Structure 1
Amino acid sequence: MTDGPDMAERPTIVLLHGGPGADHTLFKPELSAAAGFAQVIYLDQRGSGRSVRSGPLQWTWERWADDAIDFCDALEIERPVLVGTSSGGWVALLAAIRHPDRFAGLVLDSVMPGDTYERLEMFERLGGPEAREVALRYWAGDTGDEMTDAWERICLPLYSQQPGGDDVADGNRLRRVRWNDEVLDHFRMVLAREFDPWRGLDQVACRTMILAGEHDPVATASAARRFAHRLSHTDVRLHVLAKAGHGVFREAPKRSMDLLRDFVVSGHVPRLH
């Protein structure tokens, strides 16, 4: 970026979307503001959005994590801040575990899943006994059209705590997303059981910021607090935002952007030329 008559180096942020099976447009317009203090790079993960669809054999946490490294190598991005939201945060975390020397920082938004009883209690608190029952059956593997409809109608709206839901700030957000429902189904039936987000945390070496919504029904605030405690061997910041649900960057854009700016800028060390 410009600095008077000179050009000044600035940090790079690589963004990993959630879904899974969604795409990078979930970050827009909120994360576009980060271009004011960093170079912002979006990645549609393998199988999602505008990237190659491939197939289930390539839809693995390890492949996605290593894809993030290959992506940075291809673009010659050195030590970026890796930002992951929801399932994209699982990918970011695994990338930091498998490649601990590659990142200047790690930002995890709405990432750590709560224990089953915590998630069911939160769904019941937010949506009553019906929401709890639908969530229980959905997570148990009920794949019927009736259950899918009930999940989308009763439980998904509870992810957001904003009036009008996730589309309130930008009514075209969800219509822009190029979904691959097969990836989402693969996550639900296979990948969600395969990934242990608590394993290997001692390998995380970079500065880490954890963002959580106090009313997130899936990545619960209590799980985020346990996560921060487990990362106490490194520089870790935990922020639990009141009145926020799942996806803090969308739920509380101004506050989360302020936190991101402070985290990224305070840790940036310009390269010596």
Structure 2
Amino acid sequence: MRIDIGGVRLYFDVEGAGLVPDGAAMAERPVVVALHGGPGADHSLFKPVLGRATEFAQVVYLDQRGSGRSDVSEPALWTWERWADDVVDFCDALGIDDPVLLGTSSGGWVALTVAHRHPERVRGVVLDSVMPGPAEERLEVFERLGGAKARDIARRYWGGEDVQDDWERVCLPLYSRRPDGAPEARDRLARIRWNRDVIEHFRRSLAGAFDPWPYLERIVRPVLVLNGEDDPVATVSAARKLAEALPEGTAELHVLPATGHGVFREDPDRAVALLRDFVGRTAARG
């Protein structure tokens, strides 16, 4: 489905009921709005794992402006602020008053931006594999997981060199630490509708423009931070730094052992269980 938000058509999908029978009444379930990473990927990254959450919530998937099946819009509007405001405008248009935002990787950057720009508009925020560590630390993890060759390709890729093929062949497989080698990974990547221009825009300018640290004190809702122990991009030290910098009493950090980038794909059983508990507690708070 698509909806017009300020002249831009955003694609979204819905899984699970918003209202369920509860005796003589209909009970309203919490809404989880899922924000994909990339940037420039699409919501298919969450499927089918996040479908498990329909046991306790309605899940709304959103392709961000410029990504997936949404309108490309203008590169000048591919910004963290515009993407965050799109989420709020989208929720307003659909009458979603207090969603739990779930952002993976760069989608977590969007969710975090919503949380400090519009602190009263969310019930809670789930940040999955979000905060990148210092460059040298990330390179060290790549070298530990894939040797000197992986380190060199990552260094060149982040330095702006045109090594996309090497990056996808050598480095991307290191994102996963699943013992079975994530056999569905090839199909999952093939399903994505990529906008490579957004990725390049991110790599060359947007990544350096993300600076949430001065605004974290504005966040007033609970934040669940999830991170893989062996994530070569969103490192554990960076996740801890983020959790410690959030206002007292708002942050909860879980580091999943033997887990790479994207905990809902890497350890779906534990990730969904943590989400269930978090959504339940935020719903109890009202």
Q: TM-score, normalised by structure 2?
A: 0.90
* Aligned equivalents of 2:95, 2:28: Cα separation in 1: 15
Q: Which runs of 5+ in 1 are unaligned?
A: none
Q: Map of 1:28-107 to 2, 5 A cutoff?
A: 28-107=47-126
Larger relative contact order (C-alpha < 8 A, sep ≥ 6)?
1
Q: Are the aligned partners of 1:108 and 1:209 in contact in 2 as well (CA < 8 Å)?
A: yes
CA gap 1:172/1:4 in 2 versus in 1, 3 angstroms? farther
Question: In the alignment, which residue of structure 2 is the partner of 1:253?
Answer: 268
Give the counterpart of 1:156 among 167, 172, 195: 172
Q: Map of 1:107-126 to 2, 5 A cutoff?
A: 107-126=126-145
Look up the equivalent residue of 2:254 and give its one-letter code.
H
Residues matched between the structures, number? 267
Shift of 1:163: 4.0
* Aligned equivalents of 2:78, 2:180: Cα separation in 1: 33
* Aligned equivalents of 1:170, 1:127: Cα separation in 2: 18
Look up the equivalent residue of 1:76 and give its one-letter code.
G
Shift of 1:198: 2.3
Structure whose residues are more often strand by fraction: 2
Shift of 1:197: 3.4
1:84-104 Cα offsets, whole Å, 9 max, x none, are 000000000001110011111
Look up the equivalent residue of 1:228 and give its one-letter code.
A
Q: SS at the partner of 1:8?
A: strand
Question: In the alignment, which residue of structure 2 is the partner of 1:191?
Answer: 206
Shift of 1:7: 1.3
1:224-260 Cα offsets, whole Å, 9 max, x none, are 0111111142321100000110000000000000000
* Aligned equivalents of 2:213, 2:140: Cα separation in 1: 22
- Pair 1:215-2:230 in alignment: yes
User: CA RMSD, aligned part only?
Assistant: 1.5
Q: Give me the identity figure in percent.
A: 60
* Aligned equivalents of 1:159, 1:173: Cα separation in 2: 14
